Amino acid sequence: MSSTDGRGGRLIIFASPEARKDALWWALAALSVPVAGAAVWWLSENTINRLAPREYQYRPGTVSEYISELFAKHAKRRRRTKPLRVYLDGCFDVMHYGHANALRQARMLGDQLVVGLISDDEIRAAKGPPVMNYAERKSLVGSVKWVDEVIDDAPYLLSEDFLHELFTKHKIDYVVHGDDPCLLPDGTDAYAYAKQQGRFKMIKRTEGVSSTDIVGRMLMCTRDNARFREERRELTKQFSSGERRVSLEELENGDGGSVAGSPRPPAHTIISRFMPTSRRIVQFSDGVPAPPGARIVYIDGGFDLFHPGHVEILKLARAQGDFLLVGLHTDDDIMERRGAHLPIMDLHERALSVLACCYVNEVIIGAPLEVTEDLLTTFNISLVVRGTVSETGAADNADHPRYMVPKQRDIMRTLRSPRDITTATIIHRIVSNRAAYEARNAKKNKSEAAYYQSKQHVTEM
Ligand SMILES: *[C@@H]1O[C@H](CO)[C@@H](O)[C@H](O)[C@H]1NC(C)=O
Ligand SMILES: *[C@@H]1O[C@H](CO)[C@@H](O)[C@H](O)[C@H]1NC(C)=O
């Protein structure tokens, strides 16, 4: 390389071969510093994670302030490059919006939600017979829009080894659990190890519903259903703040209405403590309108006790277009058509369950029974679908007068339901095994009561 200076003389740079060689070496030396640095950084991250004892491995928010400050940047970087993975386990038997809300909260704590699903055998041993089998539970939990992965056959009792496997093999950052205590048989906290590792996060349990409560509703609904239904409605109205619960005995003796001022602790949850808030609906909604030009598919029904049959038909329905709109019938309509003991879940509860399903884009809360011209126009519906399996059987297929308008317009389609399970199937399972479920509920009843007695405020995500 050379150039001429202003005075005509030649300024020579790196003219000799030795000088050029020197420059090359210097350049290489300068380059090796960042390369070596990167190698050391990469090695340390990997060796620390592989060889160091558990307590020195990567964990968010380390004990010692000095170390945590030192590693803060590293942790931040890691979080940016790798998704934060959160784990929540459960039985998810008789899945309801309380489960969905727990999954939603867990998902908010990270980027990916991994669910550990407990096997049928473990549920049977720990609680009594499950209402839904493994495949059904997996179909339900896997369809919730906040779930990214399901780990099969998670243990009911969390061992330290299993937690360690979660942290290493499944790359879980945080283990999540509700604010009710979870104890091992020896009385120790099941999450002690995760807590000690700084990898435990608590979420707010959703009040007003539990599987125990829903099983209780099903057991009740077959006893003296019409009268029970009427009373339940009355009481729900009366205590719509949701703060009161009424015991089984009180209802059965028909004096449910006289307990308003009584401070007696409730024996069994019947009146749902569900407090429908507008925020909950917002949390569960996508809030995204159908994109312009989208093909909107409409399906209506009760969707009571949201089950795998619903999931499968919604999946099929969604595949017919770009946007799935679900019309939910009112409680009164369902009661009139299917009997006074139904629905088990009220309109708001059903809306939340349906909204939590990943195939659903929007829900009409209280849709008309009849699919009218007005409905089709308002929502720009391109196709109305109906499954072959329904609660009321053949009496309610696509030829029913309430589908007359879409039929005339030739936008009515019948989809073959992949499963023949219905809400009645599930109620039947519980009622036909009444003794076992009553025992199961009585057992659970105690821990439920203990929770409500000792509960404290936990902020929801
Ligand atoms: C209504 O739906 C049709 C598809 O069936 C679509 O072509 C049209 O753009 C939609 N209208 C609006 C206003 O989105
Ligand atoms: C629930 O537990 C209470 C005691 O905590 C008991 O008195 C009541 O009978 C139980 N109810 C049922 C339905 O088992």
75 in contact with ligand 2, CB cutoff 6 A: no
144, 171, 203: which is the final residue of a domain?
203
Domain-embedded: residue 461: no
Confirm or reject: Cβ of 264 under 6 Å from ligand 2: no
Residue at a domain's end among 203, 231, 251: 203
Query: Does ligand 2 lie within 6 Å of residue 268's CB atom?
Result: yes
Strands 2-4 and 10-12 turn out to be antiparallel
| pLDDT the model gives residue 26 | 92
**Which ligand places an atom closest to the C-alpha of 245?**
2
Mean of the per-residue pLDDT values of the chain: 77
Ligand 1 atom closest to 293 (CA): 9
Residue 131 sits in a domain whose CATH number is: 3.40.50.620
Ligand 1 centroid distance, CA of 325 (Å): 14
In this prediction the pTM is: 0.69
Residues 289 and 415 in one domain: yes
Distance from the CA of 266 to the center of ligand 2, in angstroms? 9
Return d(Cα 319, Cα 237) in angstroms, integer.
Answer: 40
- Highest average pLDDT, of 190-199, 248-257, 391-400, comes from 190-199
Contact between 90 and 144 under an 8 Å Cβ cutoff? The reply is no
Residues 152, 21 share a domain: no
Q: Which of 235, 258, 276, 243 is nearest to 452 (CA)?
A: 243
Select from 176, 203, 230 the last residue of a domain: 203
Residue 255 Cα, ligand 2 centroid: separation in angstroms? Answer: 18
Please say if the pLDDT value at position 272 is more than 60. no
Reply yes or no on whether the pLDDT at 381 is more than 80.
yes
Ligand sitting nearest the alpha carbon of 268: 2
Q: Is 358 in the same domain as 448?
A: no
Ligand 1 atom, smallest distance to 290 CA: 14
Q: Which atom of ligand 1 lies at the shortest distance from residue 292's CA?
A: 14
With the most atoms of ligand 1 within 8 angstroms of its CB, the residue from 296, 320, 382 to mutate is: 382
Backbone dihedral angles phi then psi of residue 289, each to the nearest 5 degrees: -75, 165
Compute the distance between CA of residue 213 and CA of residue 333 in angstroms, rounded to an integer. 23
pLDDT in tens, 206-263: 766 677 777 777 777 655 555 555 555 554 444 333 333 333 443 343 333 333 333 3
Q: Which residue has the higher pLDDT, 317 or 392?
A: 317
Residues 296 and 405 in one domain: yes
Taking the alpha carbons of 378, 379, 380, 385 in that order, is the dihedral positive or negative?
negative
Task: Note the maximum CA span of the chain.
Answer: 116
Which residue has tokens 């126009």?
377
Q: Give distance in angstroms: CA of 214 to centre of ligand 2.
A: 16
The DSSP 8-state label assigned to residue 180 in this structure reads: S
Same domain, 91 and 195: yes
User: If you search the block for the tokens 């029970």, which residue do you land on?
Assistant: 228
Return the percent helix, strand and coil in the chain, to nearest 5: 45, 15, 40
Q: Is residue 100 included in any domain, yes or no?
A: yes
The whole domain housing 139 covers 83-203
* Ligand 1 interacting residues, C-beta cut-off 6 A: 292-293, 295, 380, 382
Residue 459 domain-assigned? no
Are 265 and 327 within one domain? Answer: no
Which numbered ligand comes closest to the C-alpha of 215?
A: 2
- CA of 215 from ligand 2 middle (Å) equals 15
pLDDT at position 399? 76
What is the whole-number distance in angstroms between the Cα of residue 265 and the centre of ligand 2? Answer: 10
Say if residue 88's pLDDT is above 60: yes
Claim to verify: residue 144 and residue 92 sit in the same structural domain:
yes
Question: Ligand 2 centroid vs 318 CA: distance in angstroms?
Answer: 44
Nearest ligand, measured from the Cα of 449: 2
pLDDT of residue 456: 63
393 and 437 in a common domain: no
Residue 393 lies in a domain: yes
Tokens of 78: 């890691």
pLDDT digits (tens, 9 = 90+) for 93-149: 888 888 898 899 999 998 999 999 999 988 888 777 888 889 999 999 999 999 999
Same domain, yes or no: 282 and 381: yes
The ligand with the least distance to the CA atom of 381 is 1
Radius of gyration of the chain (CA): 30
417 and 342 within one domain:
yes
Residue 291 lies in a domain: yes
Q: For position 181, what pLDDT does the model report?
A: 66
> How many domains, the chain?
5
Residue 360 backbone dihedrals phi, psi, to 5 degrees: -95, 135
What distance in Å separates the CA atoms of residue 349 and residue 89, rounded to the nearest whole number?
Answer: 22
Distance 272 CA to ligand 2 centre (A): 17
Q: Is residue 458 part of a domain?
A: no
Specify the residue with its C-alpha closest to ligand 2, atom 8.
267
Q: For the chain, what percent of residues have pLDDT higher than 70?
A: 68
Please tell me whether residues 92 and 189 are part of one structural domain.
Answer: yes
Helices 211-221 and 225-238: angle between axes, nearest 10 degrees: 130
Tell me if 446 CB under 6 Å of ligand 2.
Answer: yes
Q: Are residues 134 and 242 in the same domain?
A: no
Atom of ligand 2 nearest to the CA of 248: 13
Supply the residue whose CA is at minimum distance from atom 4 of ligand 1.
Answer: 295
